[in-house]
Structure 1
Amino acid sequence: MPQVSQHDGTTDPVDHLETFRTMMLLHDASGGFLCRAFPTTLAGATRVWYSQLKPNSFDNFEDFGDDLARHFMSSRRPRKTAASLMTLRQGDNESLKAFVGRFNREALQVPNLDPSAATNALLTGAQSNDFRRSVARRNPHSLAYLMAGAEEYISVEVTMAALDSSSEHEENLRRKEPYEAT
């Protein structure tokens, strides 16, 4: 039987159910097998809850899963929305690369994210007007395209900063007086 981490009631039960279903689909398991195998993935409070169920309490695995999710609702992870992305802001000391990475991690958690909503949220949260113009010009049609454009901009920004730093270093070396032997 495939390995699925145990659910003890402290993590999102829907995530656990989806992971279990996916693993069972890989092995072409039937509904009856799901019902018999699932208890092996329970621990702690979830196992206690399960052990108190009356035999044949559910007609199918979907009903069982719905009841499990309702019972452990307080452990559910809040689902991200496009509106929650609008609250993300680049910190004063946060690099654009770090902000875009943080934004992408959040955006990937939003189901069916509309590209224009993602673009608007990224434009609202970023501090650099040059970056905003760059993103707006691209008119991204997907989150992947939006992130590719952001990475391209960041790459150019990092390269330019390195060149500026190198030029500044060379200028400082030229300003210093040559070493004179005594």
Structure 2
Amino acid sequence: MLKGLARIWFCWSFPTMLKGLARIWFSRLTPNSIDTFKELSAQFASYFIRGYKYKKSTTCLISIKQWEDEVLRSYIAHFNKEALLIDEADNKILVAAFTNGLWKDKFLFSLYKNDPKTMADVLYRATKYMNADDALLAHEEKPKKRER
């Protein structure tokens, strides 16, 4: 059981310890609606045990764009993070949204050239493209002189 200052510290610091969906859930609680930690625990368990997920519409994927200085690997990560918040996203929509957000470069050209049908196909081809790009960059680096 927490006493005095420890209880006050815990109440103020608790929200800062939450991440992701737990933080979103906590921020949506009505202020002063919970009196005890036991109540907080029960509401938390009830909310997350029933499998509720913060749902987004597939239309939000259309707004995701690759930033000007963003590498493909980073764009894939931030696109996938958003796509995971969507229930039952259709492969055609995922592929269209992903390609729509890409910068116009050789990878986008290769996707249009050989129309991918699934997001798994897009990610497989993106991995091959990134690996080839990394290999070319490594090949371009000049070897240092060896000391004898």
- Which TM bucket (shorter chain)? 0.5 to 0.7
- 2:57 counterpart (81, 86, 101): 81
Contact preservation (8 Å) 2:95, 2:117: no
Rg: which structure is higher? 1
Match of 1:133 in 2: 109
Superposed, which structure 2 residues align to 1:47-126 within 5 Å? Answer: 47=42, 78-126=54-102
Aligned to 1:3: none
Among 14, 36, 44, the residue aligned to 2:39: 44
Choose 76-85 or 108-117, whichever is displaced more. 76-85
CA distance in 2, matches of 1:135, 1:79: 29
CA RMSD, Structure 1 to Structure 2 (Å)? 3.6
- CA deviation after TM superposition for structure 1 residue 88, in Å: 0.9
Alignment gaps of 5+ in structure 2:
1-21, 29-36
CA distance, structure 2, for counterparts of residue 11 and residue 141 of structure 1 = 39
Task: Tell me the SS of whatever aligns to 1:10.
Answer: helix
Which consecutive residues of structure 1, in runs of 5 or more, have no partner in the other structure? 1-6, 13-41, 49-64, 70-75, 175-182
Which amino acid letter does the alignment assign opposite residue 94 of structure 1? Answer: E
TM-score when scaled to structure 1? 0.48
**CA apart distance, 1:128:** 3.7
> Which position in structure 2 is the counterpart of 1:59?
none
Determine what percentage of the aligned residue pairs are the same residue: 18
Aligned residue for 1:143? 119
TM-score under structure 2 normalisation? 0.57
Structure 1 residue identity aligned to 2:75: F
- Give the C-alpha shift of residue 93 in structure 1: 2.1
Query: Residue 109 and residue 144 in structure 1: after superposition, are their counterparts in 2 closer, same or farther (change >3 A)?
Result: farther
Give the Cα separation in 1 of the matches to 2:82 and 2:117.
18
Aligned residues between the structures: 111
Deviation at 1:100, TM superposition (A): 1.2
CA distance in 2, matches of 1:80, 1:157: 33
Which residue identity is paired with 1:117? I
